[in-house]
Chain A
Amino acid sequence: MSTLTLLASGDEFKAPGLELFEFPPIINGVPWFTKPVLVAILSTVIVLIFTWSAFAKPKLVPRGMQNLGEMGYTFVRDQVARPFLGKDADRWMGLLLSLFFLIWIWNLMGVIPGIQFPVVSHIAFPFVLAISIYILKLYLGFKHQGFFGYFKNMMFPPGLPKPIYLLLAPIEFLSNMIVAPFTHAVRLFANMFAGHIILAFFSLVGFWFLFENLTPLGAPLGVLGVLMTIGMTVFEMFIQFLQAFLFAMLAAMYIGNSLHPEH
């Protein structure tokens, strides 16, 4: 909120921009300890506490947190792991569940009052996750299909007329080796980044026209801003869940393709 107030101190309305994502160090002289880092660590701790209370001593008849945790587990298992990994699903559930919970809680921080910062709107966080999946994907691909076999399966899927490969091979290489990890990270990052800007924009409209600069003409606009903020918050919560799901699903897809070539 302090950033917004600072921005709105001029005489005319100015939409929030990139400065939304700039934070000074919390402690002077410790440049790395900023709000995004604090929120990232805090939400990681929340994930650990939640999963520990749900799964540490699981009972045959689930109670309380275990019910909630099992809902998450069965969702990831049935919607993410099994469609892409089949019988290997159980082996990769640990990774997929970690990704899903961590990203969802990181995203959820974007709408928690007082925190209101989606961790992955700083690209370093999705980037490190996507890179880890990328390395795992290459490792599994080389291990299960061989170094050359992996590229052969990727670039020269059998059963196509010869000239097509001239076009297909470079496209497949590019899309699998360079574009895929990039989009994997950027899709998550951009969604949260844009969502944060949208929420900041509408709440600033409300704040500016109702508190900072209350005029008969501007007031309805301020009310609209507040209503839009509420609506967009609900929508944003849906997107946060969807992006966590999507990131885990893509990870499962990459792993599945490395374990068994598509064709």
Chain B
Amino acid sequence: MITAAALAAEVNNPLLPHWYELIVGGFAFFVVLFVVGRILTPRIQKTLAERTDAIEGGLKRAEEVQDEAKRTLESYRAQLAEARHEAARLREEAREQGAQIKAELRTEAEAEARRITEQARAQIDAERQAAFAQLRAEIGRLSTDLASRIVGESLEDEARQRRIVDRFLEELEGAGSGAVR
């Protein structure tokens, strides 16, 4: 009991602060308050705000880019459709044009062929006429020569001579008309 009393007298009341601890505690608190509260907290607050900003800004930017991409895709699709349509139209046009050209060429070629045929026929006709006229004279002379030689008499009378020849030729013509044709 005596020792307990002595001990109680010796130790301080734990509810009574030591003056030097008040000073040290106050000093420590205000140093921490200055460094953490004044210097460091604004820095981390700024960084946190920037981070929020960056994340929000990033999301917004991504959204914008996506919208832009969608718009571009849309426009590309429209252009592609238009191009396809245009190509189909051109192809159709080309086919029509080709057909037209072919038809034109054919008519032209046919006309040309006809013209050439006509020309050839006309030429043949003329040549035949010429040959015929020439032959007629030649045959007349040859026949009279031949006849005079065979008969032995001179057929000087022109009129008679021609009559005879003509008659002879008509007979000839009547016989060979199919062959000349």
Please report A residues at the B interface, Cβ cutoff 8 Å: 17-19, 21-22, 31-32, 36-37, 40-41, 44, 47-48, 51-52, 54-60, 69-70, 73, 90, 93-95, 97-98, 101-102, 122-125, 127-129, 132, 186, 193
CB distance from B148 to the nearest CB of A (A): 138
Q: When A41-B28, A98-B33, A101-B32 are in contact, do A55 and B17 touch as well, CB less than 8 Å?
A: no
Check if B11 is an interface residue, CB within 8 A of chain A: yes
Q: When A48-B31, A128-B29 are in contact, do A122 and B18 touch as well, CB less than 8 Å?
A: yes
Binds A, one of B38-46, B134-142, B164-172: B38-46
Set B12, B51, B54: member contacting A22, Cβ < 8 A: B12
Residues in A whose Cβ lies below 8 Å from that of B11: 18-19, 21-22
Cα A250 to Cα B20 with chains together (Å): 26
Residues in B whose Cβ lies below 8 Å from that of A36: 21
Q: Are B36 and A94 in contact (CB under 8 A)?
A: yes
Beyond contacts A52-B40, A57-B43, A98-B32: 6 other A-B pairs, Cβ-Cβ < 8 A, are: A19-B7, A60-B50, A60-B51, A70-B44, A122-B17, A186-B15
Cα A60 to Cα B38 with chains together (Å): 20
**Number of cross-chain contacts by CB at 8 Å:** 119
Please report B residues at the A interface, Cβ cutoff 8 Å: 7-8, 10-12, 14-22, 24-26, 28-29, 31-33, 35-38, 40-48, 50-51, 54
SS of A interface (majority):
helix
Cα A86 to Cα B9 with chains together (Å): 50
Set B24, B42, B48: member contacting A37, Cβ < 8 A: B24
Q: When A60-B47, A60-B51, A127-B22 are in contact, do A21 and B40 touch as well, CB less than 8 Å?
A: no
Q: Are A129 and B14 in contact (CB under 8 A)?
A: no
Q: Are A55 and B38 in contact (CB under 8 A)?
A: no
Cα A48 to Cα B31 with chains together (Å): 9
SS of B interface (majority):
helix
Q: Are A58 and B22 in contact (CB under 8 A)?
A: no
Residues in B whose Cβ lies below 8 Å from that of A186: 15
Q: Are A56 and B24 in contact (CB under 8 A)?
A: no
Q: Are B41 and A55 in contact (CB under 8 A)?
A: yes
Q: Are A124 and B22 in contact (CB under 8 A)?
A: yes
Set A40, A51, A56, A97: member contacting B21, Cβ < 8 A: A40
Q: When A60-B50, A125-B21, A129-B25 are in contact, do A90 and B36 touch as well, CB less than 8 Å?
A: no
Q: Are A132 and B29 in contact (CB under 8 A)?
A: yes
Q: Are B20 and A32 in contact (CB under 8 A)?
A: yes
Cα A212 to Cα B70 with chains together (Å): 83
CB distance from A236 to the nearest CB of B (A): 18
Q: Are A37 and B20 in contact (CB under 8 A)?
A: yes
Q: Are B40 and A55 in contact (CB under 8 A)?
A: yes
Cα A65 to Cα B178 with chains together (Å): 127
Residues in A whose Cβ lies below 8 Å from that of B40: 51-52, 54-56
Set B25, B33, B44: member contacting A124, Cβ < 8 A: B25
Residues in B whose Cβ lies below 8 Å from that of A127: 17, 22, 25
Q: Are B28 and A40 in contact (CB under 8 A)?
A: yes
Set A22, A101, A124: member contacting B17, Cβ < 8 A: A124
CB distance from B128 to the nearest CB of A (A): 110
Residues in A whose Cβ lies below 8 Å from that of B50: 60
